Amino acid sequence: MRFLGICLLLILSAGPVLAQLDSNSVTVTASRSATSPMDQVILAVYVDSNLTKSLSDIVNAVSGVGITPANFSSLSQSSNQTLPLEWGFTLTVPLASLGAMATALAALQQSIAANNPGVTLGSFSVVNSQSSQTAPCPIPGLLSDASAQAQTLASGVGRSLGGILAMSASTSAGGAISPCSLTVKFALGN
């Protein structure tokens, strides 16, 4: 039980521990997540074929919807006895074009076997969504958060908060949600 209490104390004090305090300055790090709107969907497209077909044959059969060899993602055994191979492709499409792509895939599903004996478009579906842009870091908000943290630390040791001595920002590329942090070193007054 005592160990649990020590662990809880360490977790609760993690924020102030991240700040470094010396006699003339205080350094704090503020973090936030920035978000971008989802504007793309990722489609999974599965094509069934007989054993004589190659990746080139399959890509040629579905190239009319924009699938290239770069979209190839998997090859597995199909439950279809006549067409035992299942070729998987992933295709990223703008959200605004999803309806048109679904229509094109449905049309291809109806016509593919006539033009490509031994090949059928088994299925297609949306498997994920994403943002095409990395969200910008909210630097003014991060600076405000860092200032508030630094003011609390300075007040806690009976000092006033001075000007900014140094500052650095970092972003992790996270797509729609990007973690951002800002480390700021403030001078301490009397």
Question: pLDDT tens digits for 154-178?
Answer: 999 999 999 999 999 887 765 567 7
* Closest to 44 in 3D by CA, of 19, 6, 81, 76: 76
Of 95, 114, 130, which marks where a domain is finished?
Answer: 130
26 and 78 fall within a common domain: no
What pLDDT, on a 0 to 100 scale, did the predictor assign at position 55?
97
Whole-angstrom CA distances from 158 to 51, 69, 101, 151 are: 78, 65, 64, 10
Q: How confident is the model at residue 1 (pLDDT cuts 50, 70, 90)?
A: very low
Total domain count, the chain: 2
What pLDDT, on a 0 to 100 scale, did the predictor assign at position 14?
43
Residue 38 gets which letter from DSSP?
Answer: -
Mean pLDDT of the residues in the chain: 86
- Per-residue pLDDT of 9-63, as tens digits, reads 333 344 444 444 457 899 999 999 888 888 999 999 999 999 999 999 999 999 9
Q: Is residue 6 part of a domain?
A: no
Residue 2 has pLDDT above 70, yes or no: no
52 and 77 fall within a common domain: yes
Please answer whether residues 163 and 186 qualify as being in contact, where contact means their C-beta atoms are separated by less than 8 angstroms: yes
What pLDDT, on a 0 to 100 scale, did the predictor assign at position 158?
92
Structural domain range at position 176? 18-36+134-189
105 and 56 fall within a common domain: yes
**C-alpha span between 43 and 105 (Å, rounded):** 11
75 and 146 fall within a common domain: no
Q: Taking the model in full, what pTM does it have?
A: 0.61
Residue 69 has pLDDT above 70, yes or no: yes
What pLDDT, on a 0 to 100 scale, did the predictor assign at position 22?
54
53 and 89 fall within a common domain: yes
Amino acid identity of 107? A
Of 130, 159, 176, which marks where a domain is finished?
Answer: 130
**C-alpha span between 6 and 189 (Å, rounded):** 34
Q: Which residue has the higher pLDDT, 120 or 17?
A: 120
96 and 139 fall within a common domain: no
**C-alpha span between 74 and 71 (Å, rounded):** 10
What pLDDT, on a 0 to 100 scale, did the predictor assign at position 171?
75
Q: Can you give the CATH number for the domain in which 89 is found?
A: 3.30.70.2040
Q: Which residue has the higher pLDDT, 147 or 80?
A: 147
98 and 52 fall within a common domain: yes
Question: In percent, how much of the chain has pLDDT > 70?
Answer: 85
Whole-angstrom CA distances from 106 to 64, 99, 113, 119 are: 12, 11, 13, 15
DSSP one-letter string for 79-121: S-SSS-EEEEEEEEEEGGGHHHHHHHHHHHHHHHHHHSTTEEE
Residue 137 gets which letter from DSSP?
Answer: P
Of 114, 130, 146, which marks where a domain is finished?
Answer: 130
What pLDDT, on a 0 to 100 scale, did the predictor assign at position 133?
80
Residue 76 gets which letter from DSSP?
Answer: E
128-132: average pLDDT? 89
115 and 179 fall within a common domain: no
Q: Is residue 31 part of a domain?
A: yes
What pLDDT, on a 0 to 100 scale, did the predictor assign at position 9?
39
